[in-house]
A and B are shown apart, each in its own frame.
Chain A
């Protein structure tokens, strides 16, 4: 049998971090007392009408532009009709046949569409099942109801669970950098559903897909897709067919359960929302959306690699976190005469390790190490004014107390021994004190040199340049 290829598309819901809800003036909140951010509009009292939130439209346009989509001149709001207590109007205002924007891309994954809609209220089911069926009672918190949502739908361009989760992270970083959402999966401000199917490798046709819901972390997204791919491959391997259905991911056992068909069998009776006029962004709005775009991660990665010569991993790691990127660029700018690649190594390597050692939550930006101080330290090491080992000592001091590396070097007496006569004398003493090691080195065991280097370093408190010490030992032993 031909090898099976995974075909994955994502549907991502992003809660916008506007001040107020999509169609009323209630403030957005997370974690407040239930039902305090409500009004006649978001509780769907008789006679109320939706009044669109301009800020939400601006944010959605920024996302559309960042994803290189084509913005519709006049997009239409539709009503999606269904009965459920989290949906007080019994219809959700969403977009249907003419969405806000279509046809974009992020990295090499194509974006099918981007549209605006409103979030449902939050249901809490009391009892064992955690679902409405079989629960003793269900409570509704309307604080979330009416929060502006942007739905982003990709084309089925992803080919593995890992790629899907990696791409979703890139999307999160991109949206976070726009400053239009908290994009927090645990809090639900970023929600990711996956459409998963398999097909014989090389085939152009799409297999029967299933829709995976409730994966509230990137890890669960990856594991959910992996589990579903394995299930589908097993089915097809056994000669059975995949049935189109919606599956609920349960992180406890990494299991997928089919949602009851009764919940699924919706005819949403979409029709154009008569209470709203078409959404027609002005040239001015589009211009502002384009103008407000920061450099996005994909572009930044490319610049780091092409212009600054960073290795791919360091470029991706720094570009993924806007704060880390700003920190790195400030340090690289201040480190005169040092290649950015070296500064990047310090930021992602030594500094990250030192911060972890310190146990702090804060990244580089929140630490006491100013990017200019790190730059000065890197320059000292590169110019061999201090040894690499002393550099780490200084960095630990910077992490603990901040300040200037030069002052710490002076205070701790870490300046490299630049008088070669002094160093030669110390090397001579060390060689004499370690006759066994000296003999082994002469016999051709190069690794035995470590013992003598160690002795020199102890004696100099690490102020000697390792390479120079090696050279002097070999000279003395005539090897």
Chain B
């Protein structure tokens, strides 16, 4: 029944609801597909089928990033320190999907504690890009992106702290939606940087992203910072962009972008105009400092969030420690990978007495300025658009020895995270990597004001329809 796997989630849900497909049959088809994972996308896969369920996502299998706690099911956040850990509770996001009728198909691989842009920082081996297995799928939600892009799951959820949904979606040729900070509960989502982390969807198309968002969003008493999206989310239907104003931040666009990515980006701007949208260059003067501010704020919060992994209550505990301090030190030395340790040290340093104002305080002021820039832009424009990633998927190992180069992968996605804004990446075309090679997917990012998800999805839907991206990994990779 390979035909089942061609359906989008919206189509499959419709046919299951109409009784044309059995939920169990659909789930089993995807279990079989997931079992053929050669990308190291999954860390755990469901062993049981499902019975019929109700709800808008009845019978829909969802690949879940291994950062979401699932009761009784291994949850590692890609870290050795949580190897063997099965949480005693389920995250709100997964619970809501379940209430809508969806079921967990598997837990997907990721950069350890969501720290990374290539999914090479997993303690359980790197994830491979479905378009070219010598390349990375992006990160940190690389397992979720590779699973959807590689035909191992119909849809997935991930988390985005500085681009961790949008950038891998871009590199794997799928849709990645990061909602407004506060739209979806973070309860049960293993924290990396609490003021930035947000759950979102990785799907084949914009309609599916809307469907997942509708199920996921909402205020949760377990998360004081969650508010939900007023009025909910509906399936988008807009076919044009008439009267809509799109801002292109000149400061960002001038920076180093691969020529192939630039070409796809400019072609997409023309598509927007063809649909009736207006393109204007607009200032976002502080956005270029986003990476600097982000790499102070996120590690600072991470250094505190990750301090609970001490070997006392759960997860890994190092053997052979003589006293408490040694147990802490050995456990954390053995349990954490290099990038996590780098960020813990960075974060500890910037919060230290005497350095707080110079680093953390200053980064927060930059963050405020970036948010003000966006607020000013949205006073005049409906959307801000950028490429999602400065390059197409890069080679495995290409940037692992150069953290700064790796950090720059999130140049276009970090400012929106700092401002807490909703943003979506949709596949806009294929481009050759700088230096040549088979053509790979390029993402186009659209950003909207806080909680304007519906407006964002409508525009993305119209643009997606006009672009008509239908390349598949096999074809793209084959040239």
Further 14 A-B residue pairs, CB within 8 A, beyond A46-B190, A274-B194: A45-B88, A45-B313, A46-B85, A46-B191, A46-B308, A47-B189, A48-B187, A81-B303, A81-B307, A267-B352, A269-B353, A271-B300, A274-B225, A275-B225
Chain A residues whose CB sits within 8 angstroms of the CB of B91 once the complex forms: 47
Distance in Å from the Cβ of A88 to the closest Cβ of chain B?
A: 6
The reply to whether the CB of A354 lies closer than 8 angstroms to some CB of chain B is no
Q: Mark A5-45, 1 if CB is under 8 A from B, else 0.
A: 00000000000000000000000000000000000100111
In B206-241, the 8 Å CB interface with A consists of 221-225
Q: Which residues of B contact A (CB under 8 A)?
A: 67-69, 75, 77, 82, 85, 87-89, 91, 186-191, 193-195, 221-225, 300-301, 303-304, 307-310, 312-314, 324, 328, 348, 351-353, 356, 360
Distance in Å from the Cβ of A130 to the closest Cβ of chain B?
A: 16
Instruction: Tell me whether B224 and A49 are in contact (CB under 8 A).
Output: yes
Instruction: Tell me whether B304 and A271 are in contact (CB under 8 A).
Output: yes
Tell whether A49 pairs with B310 under 8 Å between CB atoms, given A40-B88, A81-B304: no
A441–B64 CA distance with the chains assembled, in angstroms: 106
The reply to whether the CB of A336 lies closer than 8 angstroms to some CB of chain B is no
Chain B residues whose CB sits within 8 angstroms of the CB of A45 once the complex forms: 69, 87-89, 313-314
Distance in Å from the Cβ of A35 to the closest Cβ of chain B?
A: 10
A139–B261 CA distance with the chains assembled, in angstroms: 58
Residue of A40, A49, A275, A277 near B87 (CB, 8 A) is A40
Instruction: Tell me whether A49 and B312 are in contact (CB under 8 A).
Output: no
Distance in Å from the Cβ of B468 to the closest Cβ of chain A?
A: 39
The reply to whether the CB of A51 lies closer than 8 angstroms to some CB of chain B is yes
Instruction: Tell me whether A51 and B221 are in contact (CB under 8 A).
Output: yes
19 examples of A-B residue contacts, CB within 8 angstroms: A40-B88, A44-B308, A45-B87, A45-B89, A45-B313, A46-B75, A46-B77, A46-B309, A48-B89, A49-B187, A49-B224, A81-B304, A83-B328, A85-B310, A88-B313, A90-B308, A90-B310, A269-B356, A275-B191
A49–B87 CA distance with the chains assembled, in angstroms: 14
Which 5 residue pairs are nearest across A and B when measured between Cβ atoms?
A: A90-B307, A274-B195, A269-B351, A274-B194, A46-B190
Chain A residues whose CB sits within 8 angstroms of the CB of B187 once the complex forms: 47-49
Interface size on A, as a range, is 20 to 34
The reply to whether the CB of A213 lies closer than 8 angstroms to some CB of chain B is no
Instruction: Tell me whether B224 and A47 are in contact (CB under 8 A).
Output: no
Chain B residues whose CB sits within 8 angstroms of the CB of A51 once the complex forms: 221-224
A275–B192 CA distance with the chains assembled, in angstroms: 12
A83–B75 CA distance with the chains assembled, in angstroms: 24
Instruction: Tell me whether A83 and B307 are in contact (CB under 8 A).
Output: yes
Distance in Å from the Cβ of A37 to the closest Cβ of chain B?
A: 15
- Please name the residue on chain A nearest to B71 by beta carbon: A40
- Please name the residue on chain B nearest to A40 by beta carbon: B89
A269–B350 CA distance with the chains assembled, in angstroms: 9
Chain A residues whose CB sits within 8 angstroms of the CB of B190 once the complex forms: 46-47
- Please name the residue on chain A nearest to B306 by beta carbon: A90
The reply to whether the CB of A276 lies closer than 8 angstroms to some CB of chain B is yes
- Please name the residue on chain A nearest to B227 by beta carbon: A277
The reply to whether the CB of A132 lies closer than 8 angstroms to some CB of chain B is yes
Chain B residues whose CB sits within 8 angstroms of the CB of A179 once the complex forms: none
Instruction: Tell me whether A46 and B87 are in contact (CB under 8 A).
Output: yes
A140–B310 CA distance with the chains assembled, in angstroms: 14
Residue of B186, B308, B351, B353 near A49 (CB, 8 A) is B186
- Please name the residue on chain A nearest to B221 by beta carbon: A51
Chain A residues whose CB sits within 8 angstroms of the CB of B304 once the complex forms: 79, 81, 90-91, 269, 271
- Please name the residue on chain B nearest to A90 by beta carbon: B307
- Please name the residue on chain A nearest to B182 by beta carbon: A277
Tell whether A91 pairs with B307 under 8 Å between CB atoms, given A49-B186, A271-B360, A274-B195: yes
Tell whether A275 pairs with B224 under 8 Å between CB atoms, given A48-B187, A269-B304, A269-B353: yes
- Please name the residue on chain A nearest to B309 by beta carbon: A46
A271–B69 CA distance with the chains assembled, in angstroms: 26
Chain A residues whose CB sits within 8 angstroms of the CB of B82 once the complex forms: 46
The reply to whether the CB of A138 lies closer than 8 angstroms to some CB of chain B is yes
A450–B27 CA distance with the chains assembled, in angstroms: 106
A37–B381 CA distance with the chains assembled, in angstroms: 53
Distance in Å from the Cβ of B361 to the closest Cβ of chain A?
A: 10
Chain A residues whose CB sits within 8 angstroms of the CB of B312 once the complex forms: 85, 88, 140
A276–B182 CA distance with the chains assembled, in angstroms: 12
Chain A residues whose CB sits within 8 angstroms of the CB of B300 once the complex forms: 271
Chain B residues whose CB sits within 8 angstroms of the CB of A90 once the complex forms: 304, 307-308, 310
A222–B47 CA distance with the chains assembled, in angstroms: 66
Chain A residues whose CB sits within 8 angstroms of the CB of B68 once the complex forms: 47
Tell whether A48 pairs with B188 under 8 Å between CB atoms, given A40-B89, A90-B307, A91-B307: yes
A52–B190 CA distance with the chains assembled, in angstroms: 19
Q: Mark A72-100, 1 if CB is under 8 A from B, else 0.
A: 00000001010101001111000000000
Interface centre among A40, A47, A269 (most CB of B within 10 A): A47
Instruction: Tell me whether A47 and B307 are in contact (CB under 8 A).
Output: no
